[in-house]
Amino acid sequence: MLEISNLTTHYFQGGQVATAVRGASLTLKKGLATAIVGESGSGKSTVAMSVMRMIRPPIGDIAEGTIRVNGTDVTAASPKQMREILRTSIGFVPQDPTTALDPLYTIRSQIVEAMPHVERNKRTETIVELLTSLGIADARDRLREHPHQFSGGMRQRVAIAIALAKEPDLLIADEPTTALDVTTQIGILRLLDRLRRERHLTTMFITHDIRVARLVCQDVAVMYGGVVVESGPLSAVVDAPSHPYTRALLDASSLDVGPRQRLRAISGSPPTLLAMPPGCPFAPRCPNATAICHREMPATTGKADGSSFACWNPVAS
């Protein structure tokens, strides 16, 4: 449903070019959820913004590669064609609904903007049904309320409603639970998983937390320094990671850690976009790095379990 091939995306900073995504390739299968996992600055959100063609001069540009949504190459689409793709095919759930929702407009008016395809006399009923399905009680009575009258979890449900109102084929969720408390996070994650199954939605789920990916996703792509370092079925990647960065992410999470056990922090810091190492971007922090890791990017190697990785010195299985 979504095919990304050799994507390279730049940002322009004070006369300099910062490469945020470098040769990323990724396929999202129809009806499944794929997690894009990595630390801040790894290129996760840039991939999502590239899919929606939100990175344009003078901010940045897609320098290379193709992005196909339902067979249409959005990198070659005209502004008019891109508006139509965004209007009908792609829904976006933001990280922070507080800043995404307009405080001056009612909930109904903000959802209506995403459903011009629905007849005017049916819009209110459609919105009520949608909000009710998302767990908002007394939805009809709350249509004329404003975002500040909703809790954080309810605002996120409204943001999800706006994304779903256009009946998209692809749903992009950019760390949609980061601004919420832990209990509310679980509810939103379960909601997104249910919606994916019921609507057969292809979902791109951006997160820095591999635990979240395990809860709601079937596939995963691990990014570091703008590069997809490992990808494939989530169970294969999590159970038998090959890239040292994937292993380090798992060790730094509480996925398999018992009570009173220490988490292992990843030593060092991620590279900056303007000072990217010439070889593997993880080499300066990698315990397995050798001289070639600092000089050259490794090729991608496939595995029998359907996953693939890019590493000169993979983790032993």
Residue with tokens 């359907």, as numbered in its chain: 306
Q: What is the pLDDT of residues 99-146, one digit of tens each?
A: 889 999 999 999 999 998 899 999 999 999 999 999 999 999 999 999
Residue 249 within a domain:
yes
Q: Is the pLDDT of residue 47 over 90?
A: yes
Enclosing domain of residue 101: 96-167
Pair (183, 296) in one structural domain: yes
The pTM score is 0.92
**Running DSSP on this structure, what letter comes out for residue 64?**
E
Q: Is the pLDDT of residue 255 over 80?
A: no
Residue with tokens 């070639």, as numbered in its chain: 292
pLDDT level of residue 251 (50, 70, 90 thresholds): confident
Main-chain phi, psi angles of 209, to 5 degrees = -110, 110
Question: For residues 260 and 48, which has the higher predicted lDDT (pLDDT)?
Answer: 48
For residues 49 and 62, give the distance between their C-alpha atoms in angstroms, rounded to a whole number.
Answer: 10
Give the residue from 167, 200, 228 where a domain finishes: 167
Give the residue from 167, 201, 230 where a domain finishes: 167
Q: Is the pLDDT of residue 25 over 90?
A: yes
For residues 123 and 111, give the distance between their C-alpha atoms in angstroms, rounded to a whole number.
Answer: 9
Contact between residue 45 and residue 20 where contact means Cβ atoms under 8 Å apart: no
Mean pLDDT taken over the chain: 92
For residues 297 and 54, give the distance between their C-alpha atoms in angstroms, rounded to a whole number.
Answer: 28
For residues 208 and 224, give the distance between their C-alpha atoms in angstroms, rounded to a whole number.
Answer: 11
For residues 307 and 178, give the distance between their C-alpha atoms in angstroms, rounded to a whole number.
Answer: 28
pLDDT the model gives residue 262: 74
Residue 317 within a domain:
no
Strand 202-207, strand 170-174: pairing: parallel
Q: What is the pLDDT of residues 203-248, one digit of tens each?
A: 999 998 888 888 899 999 999 999 999 999 999 999 999 999 999 9
Pair (200, 53) in one structural domain: yes
| Best CA proximity match to 200, nearest among 1, 3, 86, 32 | 32
Q: Is the pLDDT of residue 261 over 80?
A: no
Q: Is the pLDDT of residue 194 over 90?
A: yes
- Joined together, the tokens standing for residue 296 give 């050259």
Pair (66, 213) in one structural domain: yes
Cα distances (angstroms) measured from residue 272 to each of 19, 139, 157: 10, 46, 34
Question: For residues 316 and 62, which has the higher predicted lDDT (pLDDT)?
Answer: 62
The structural domain count of the chain equals 2
Pair (303, 265) in one structural domain: yes
Q: What is the pLDDT of residues 90-109, one digit of tens each?
A: 999 998 888 889 999 999 99
Question: For residues 282 and 254, which has the higher predicted lDDT (pLDDT)?
Answer: 282
* Residue-by-residue DSSP string for 249-263: HHHHSSTT--TTPPP
Give the residue from 167, 201, 219 where a domain finishes: 167
Question: For residues 117 and 290, which has the higher predicted lDDT (pLDDT)?
Answer: 290
pLDDT level of residue 258 (50, 70, 90 thresholds): low
pLDDT the model gives residue 9: 97
Cα distances (angstroms) measured from residue 89 to each of 14, 170, 201, 229, 276: 35, 6, 11, 28, 35
